[in-house]
Amino acid sequence: MTADAIRKQITAVPFHPFKLHTADGRAIGVFARDFALVSPLGLTVDVYQPDDSHDIIDTSLIASISFTAPANAA
């Protein structure tokens, strides 16, 4: 996954929550645009959780991004 692809999802209008899936099988939720930041060189992504815990992830280890359908989707 490229840093630009991740930035695109963080800055999307409207924003839709998503999960970053890492090569080691973790799924890290991004609940709001203010909860994630791609480093200036695009080497890492810092993702905060509602409880203020956070993960710093090597961008090259992010395998995919997934989205959950809204509850009212048919």
The CATH architecture annotation of domain 3-67 reads Roll (2.30)
* Average of per-residue pLDDT values in the chain: 93
> What is the pLDDT at residue 72?
66
Q: Which residues pair with 21 in a beta bridge?
A: 27, 64
Instruction: List the domain boundaries for the chain.
Output: 3-67
Q: What is the pLDDT of residues 46-72, one digit of tens each?
A: 999 999 999 999 999 999 999 987 666
The pair of structure tokens assigned to 41 is: 């060189």
